[in-house]
Amino acid sequence: MSSLNLDDFTDLIERPDGGVRRDAEARRERQTVPPGALGRLDDLGEWLAAAQSAVPVRPITRPRVVLFAGDHGIAARDVSARPAGTAVRLVRAVLDGTSPVAVLARRLDVPVRVVDMALDCDPGELPADVVRHRVRRGSGRIDVEDGLTAEEAEAAFRAGVAVADEEADSGTDLVVLGDVSVGGTTAAAVLVAALCGTDASVVTGRGGRPIDDLAWMRKCAAVRDALRRARPVLGDQLQLLATVGGADLAAATGFLLQCAVRKTPVVLDGVVSAACALVAQRIAFRAPDWWLAGQRSGEPAQAKALDRMAIEPLLDHGVSVGEGTGALLALSLVQAAAALAAELPEREAEGGGDGEDGEDAEKPGDEAHADAGGS
């Protein structure tokens, strides 16, 4: 019998410190730049202060990109622009430094960690630190079979928890979460449709490399068929991940929950991370308070999931490549918010600071000094 009790996360996860957030808001009121003039950067700075329980907020100095990788059997239905079982090529590009996220991470000096959960390749093809958490070789075809066994789903979930603990223990102060998969957006669409009670056509997008109309119709059919299998297990989130998810999605869900336990902020990337976040919210309702959405990917399932969680994306640049790329672009915005919140000076005390017109207020003794120097 499993010893994993998902209900424990509800008790373990606390919201970011509301008292500290109020202190951060009060400090912002005292700063020289008028409140509201920095737009959403004000909210970001206050959110970070609450997450860190620190006023002024500390700078983000040790961010990391974490990518959970896997192949999905549903890709065999030609629902992706990439051939089934080829996610390892994407992983190699990340490791070789030639993928978009690798290029950006190098420019921003942010380390990237890839965690293979279910790639359809020989584990010997990849470094040992990438494959050490692997649960299986490829996840099942979710329209006709479960993506994982119950034991595999639990193992993947626990692996995600372990990765979150490793990151927190190593001093990571913010995570950019993404995925490297083929067929992953289809599984994500099924999870979102199941949890939001919508039809397949409402959540089915065209993926990171846009597919044509025929492939989109095949993808809709695949989501519809998997959705029929998902509905009977909606009350059990781990079983839902086993039935219509995959090892990478189960791991990302465990990772998100444990990051909230460890008070590690996370920036979500695209539809896959949003779908996992939605599952995690069903497990622990306070967990989304620890997450940001880095960008709007254009996938309808992502928009549906974020709307359900009341999370507004930071950017809308149409980046759909996945792999954490869009969320990594938002990192600079988060770091800027932290810097502004911490470093903008406060106004001097009443009567001794700047006047409304920006000129220094007259200081005590100035009038006498002027009289002495006049006539």
Q: What is the side-by-side strand order in the sheet with 174-182?
A: 112-118, 63-71, 174-182, 266-268, 291-293
DSSP state for residue 34 in the 8-state scheme: P
Rounded-to-integer distance, Cα 237 and Cα 183, Å: 20
Q: Which helix (H) or strand (E) holds 181?
A: strand 174-182
Nearest to 134 by CA among 79, 190, 183, 88: 88
323: annotated active-site residue: yes
Tokens of 162: 């372990």
The alpha-helical segments, DSSP class H, found in the chain are: 8-12, 18-30, 40-52, 87-96, 100-108, 128-131, 150-170, 184-196, 200-203, 213-230, 237-244, 247-261, 271-283, 300-309, 325-343, 366-373
Task: Say which of 46, 152, 167, 323 is annotated catalytic.
Answer: 323
- 174 close to 324: Cβ distance less than 8 angstroms: no
- 56 close to 342: Cβ distance less than 8 angstroms: yes
Active-site residue numbers?
A: 323
